[in-house]
């Protein structure tokens, strides 16, 4: 995928995430039952909002577990993580950093890792947006490539 498209998709996500109200985002838990006010059915509510934002290919599906929850899928991918890798054109390591709160063990990420140390799933919306902006700048300034791995 061309770098420009990777940057455009990240920029759109950042823009839309900044429009979310704090109560529309929760990294530590997810909406267990689907309703039309709280569509999110994923651990990371950024991707939980993708279908609402009209990002083509992302949709809500009811899980097979009991009680059923609404989850997000992309295309025919078995899990949303694989769909995010494909859609954003980024490595699994970067997707995990952005959407699941994992740290990247590399010197370029040390400052941001230290800032959010031991928070992982407790990251707030502002911190998640900061992570997206950080990766966007690293890509834009070509300090990393989309297929970056530590």
The pLDDT-based confidence of 17 (bands split at 50, 70, 90) is: very high
Mean pLDDT of 48-73: 80
Residue boundaries of the structural domains of the chain: 3-140
Q: Please report the pLDDT score of residue 18 as a whole number.
A: 94
Q: Please report the pLDDT score of residue 93 as a whole number.
A: 92
Q: List, in order, residues 6 or more apart from 61 with CB less than 8 Å away.
A: 70, 71, 72, 73
Residue 88 pLDDT > 70: yes
Q: Please report the pLDDT score of residue 125 as a whole number.
A: 83
pLDDT tens for 105-145 read 888 888 776 666 544 446 778 888 999 999 999 999 999 99
Nearest to 92 by CA among 147, 49, 37: 147
Separation of alpha carbons 3 and 25, rounded Å: 28
What average pLDDT is seen over the chain?
A: 80
Mean pLDDT of 9-28: 85
């Amino acid at each position: 995928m061309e770098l420009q498209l990777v940057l455009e998709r990240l920029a759109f996500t950042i823009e839309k995430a900044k429009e979310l109200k704090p109560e529309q985002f929760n990294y530590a838990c997810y909406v267990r039952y689907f309703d039309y006010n709280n569509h999110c059915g994923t651990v990371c509510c950024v991707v939980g909002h993708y279908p609402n934002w009209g990002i083509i290919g992302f949709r809500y599906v009811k899980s097979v577990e009991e009680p059923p929850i609404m989850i997000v899928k992309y295309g025919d991918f078995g899990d949303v993580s694989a769909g995010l890798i494909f859609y954003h054109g980024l490595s699994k390591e970067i997707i995990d950093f952005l959407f699941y709160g994992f740290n990247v063990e590399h010197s370029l990420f040390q400052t941001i890792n230290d800032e959010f140390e031991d928070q992982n799933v407790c990251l707030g919306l502002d911190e998640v947006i900061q992570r997206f902006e950080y990766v966007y700048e690293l890509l834009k300034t070509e300090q990393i490539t989309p297929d970056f791995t530590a």
